[in-house]
């Protein structure tokens, strides 16, 4: 079931033909932090929500403009120029949809995990949303447990791509020397189904593999993976945002452009922020 | 320390891995939920156009019990034939309906309860009464000093604005039934305001006082929300009744102790 709920004034047909970037709830939450970084830096405007009861509910103030409501678990975003009137949306929740200014990219932000036993329902709803909205292509951004790397993965960039050879990212990935994710021998405890045995296992990546398996036969899809560990992930997030931007050319700023990542204010409370010197006075 | 306790939670890195067993649970869970939640209204009077005042389990529920003590019970919300909330109509024929939680609703059922509630009680506005724990509140300003009454709030896009109250600032979030109701109101264009009173706790149990509960009254005045007058005598009586038992915060016989 397509669970997309547009904000007032937004036409859902504007999602058609755009590139969808969707994070999974995965280890260190780096993909979700990356989407928040894009939302904050590019001033993406929220264009809708995914009303999915498979994820845990959450509500908090909408950081972009606290006077305009709350944030929720599933959101979608688009970037509009600053002089366009913003639809007053004071409230954010679990799943929101955003879009970029040039309408080329649509971001989904998921803030909470999926209830136990609801994963298949969630995947079905997500698949229905992606197919019904008519996205041109989908890039799943996820992270996997860095402690499960093999020798060949220990050096070089901590990023991997998984996509068909003729995918929409293959050419650009080759230009960037972005390696493909290695398909390793099955390990003890891995739950391998026959249908997706050709997709590498990505420990701690959440629904990335399942979502890819569902979409690949009906929709252009690829996975961008980062090796990550729980801890201070701020630098990991910036690194991931740079990699994603290089791959998909979202910001596409010239070297001389005065662009820098602008994290949301709530990141002050993240692990790794500087300590308050007054504590020791 | 009781070494027979299992590890309380699995390490985070494994929590995101797939579990093949859960793939068969989704349909079963959904069917169970649909069959077990019932909103029972014992009145033939039309419930359209009402303002719903929802008291979440804790200070919110205590406040509404004390405010609607002279009201009439017109229904209940049942989960597996167990009453989890009572529906009380005001005695002065106003269009307010108080929904008073009798116990905490499990997270996996909050959406189902929310949908069932709004399907049976189409309303024009929702006011939520909830709380936030002082120990859980994150603020970048270590010098922040709370002034009485300590109430924070969130509002949906159509909800009332307050000129006096502070918002529940980022990155603090609310969860559970409050979040489910706020989400529903936002997505379905319903005016909604959630009030959060500061709550101290002991051993994980809320220590509800008349001061923190009465803070709701000040917030309602600021928002210009009409509500039956708070009966302070009744409030203290309700709070005295919570001094023992599961809501007391006291160490009970089953609580694991470090020392005998």
Task: Please give the ipTM for the structure prediction.
Answer: 0.84
- The H or E element spanning position A133 is helix A119-133
> 10 Å Cβ neighbour count for B169?
19
Segment A208-240, tens digit of pLDDT: 999 999 999 999 999 999 999 998 899 999 999
B191 touches chain A (CB under 8 A): no
Cβ neighbours of B175 in A, within 8 Å: 56-59
Of all residues in chain A, what percent are helix, strand and coil, respectively (each to 5)? 30, 25, 45
pTM of the model: 0.85
> Across the strands, what pairs with B120?
none
- How many residue pairs bridge chain A and chain B with CB atoms within 8 Å of each other? 148
Give the chain A residue whose CA is nearest to the CA of B110.
A57
Give the chain B residue whose CA is nearest to the CA of A229.
B13
Segment B85-103, tens digit of pLDDT: 999 988 776 778 899 998 8
Nearest-CB residue to A5 (from B107, B142, B187) = B187
pLDDT in tens, chain B (260 residues): 444 444 445 555 555 555 544 454 555 555 555 556 777 776 655 556 789 999 999 889 999 999 988 888 888 888 888 889 999 988 776 778 899 998 888 888 899 899 988 888 888 999 999 998 887 888 766 666 666 668 899 999 899 998 888 888 888 889 999 999 999 999 899 999 999 998 887 776 777 887 778 889 989 999 988 877 788 888 888 887 776 555 555 444 445 555 55
Tell me the residues of chain B between 129 and 158 that have a Cβ less than 8 Å away from chain A: 138, 140, 142, 154-157
Nearest to A2 by CA among A134, A135, A131, A129: A129
Q: Which long-range contacts (CB under 8 A, 24 or more apart) does A78-83 make?
A: A78/A14, A78/A44, A78/A45, A78/A46, A78/A47, A78/A103, A78/A105, A78/A106, A79/A42, A79/A43, A79/A44, A79/A45, A79/A105, A80/A45, A82/A43
- The H or E element spanning position A226 is strand A221-228
């Amino acid at each position: 079931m397509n669970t997309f709920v547009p904000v007032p004034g937004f036409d859902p047909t504007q999602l058609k033909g755009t590139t969808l970037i969707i994070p999974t709830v995965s280890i260190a939450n780096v993909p979700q932090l990356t989407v928040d970084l894009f939302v904050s830096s590019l001033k993406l405007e929220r264009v809708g929500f995914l009303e999915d009861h498979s994820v845990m509910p959450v509500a908090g103030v909408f950081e972009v403009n606290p006077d305009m409501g709350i944030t929720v678990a599933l959101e979608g975003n688009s970037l509009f120029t600053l002089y366009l009137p913003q639809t007053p949306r004071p409230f954010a929740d679990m799943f929101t949809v955003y879009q970029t200014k040039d309408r080329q990219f649509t971001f989904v932000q998921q803030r909470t995990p999926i209830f136990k036993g609801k994963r298949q329902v969630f995947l079905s709803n997500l698949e229905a949303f992606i197919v019904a909205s008519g996205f041109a292509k989908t890039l799943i951004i996820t992270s996997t447990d860095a402690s499960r790397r093999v020798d060949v993965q220990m050096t070089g960039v901590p990023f991997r791509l998984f996509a068909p050879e003729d995918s929409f990212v293959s050419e650009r990935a080759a230009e960037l020397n972005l390696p493909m994710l290695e398909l390793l021998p099955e390990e003890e405890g891995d739950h391998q189904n026959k249908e997706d045995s050709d997709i590498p296992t990505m420990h701690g990546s959440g629904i990335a593999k399942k979502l890819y398996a569902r979409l690949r036969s009906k929709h252009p899809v690829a996975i961008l993976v980062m090796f990550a560990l729980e801890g201070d992930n701020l630098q990991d997030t910036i690194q991931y945002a740079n990699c994603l931007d290089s791959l998909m050319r979202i910001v596409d700023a010239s070297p001389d452009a005065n662009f820098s990542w602008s994290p949301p204010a709530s990141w002050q409370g993240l692990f790794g922020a500087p300590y308050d010197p007054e504590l020791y006075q | 320390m009781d070494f027979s306790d299992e590890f309380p939670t699995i390490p985070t890195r494994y929590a995101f891995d797939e579990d093949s067993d859960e793939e068969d649970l989704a349909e079963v869970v959904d069917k169970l939920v649909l069959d077990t939640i019932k909103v029972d209204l014992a009145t033939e009077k039309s419930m359209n156009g009402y303002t719903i005042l929802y008291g979440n389990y804790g200070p919110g529920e205590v406040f509404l019990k004390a405010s609607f003590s002279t009201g009439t019970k017109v229904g209940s919300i049942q989960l597996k034939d167990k009453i989890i909330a009572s529906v009380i109509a005001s005695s002065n024929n106003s269009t307010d309906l108080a929904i008073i939680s009798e116990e905490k609703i499990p997270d996996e059922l909050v959406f189902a309860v929310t949908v069932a509630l709004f399907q049976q009680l189409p309303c024009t506005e929702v006011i939520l009464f909830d709380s936030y724990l002082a120990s859980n509140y994150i603020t970048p300003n270590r010098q922040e000093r709370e002034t009485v009454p300590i109430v924070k709030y969130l509002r949906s896009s159509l909800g009332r604005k307050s000129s006096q109250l502070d918002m529940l600032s980022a990155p603090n979030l609310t969860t559970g039934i409050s979040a489910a109701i706020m989400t529903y109101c936002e997505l379905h264009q319903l005016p909604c305001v959630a009030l959060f009173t500061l709550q101290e706790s002991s051993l994980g149990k809320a220590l509800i006082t008349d001061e923190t509960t009465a803070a709701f009254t000040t917030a309602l005045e600021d928002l210009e929300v009409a509500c039956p007058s708070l009966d302070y005598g009744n409030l203290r009586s309700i709070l005295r009744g919570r001094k023992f038992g599961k809501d007391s915060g006291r160490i009970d016989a089953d609580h694991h102790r470090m020392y005998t």
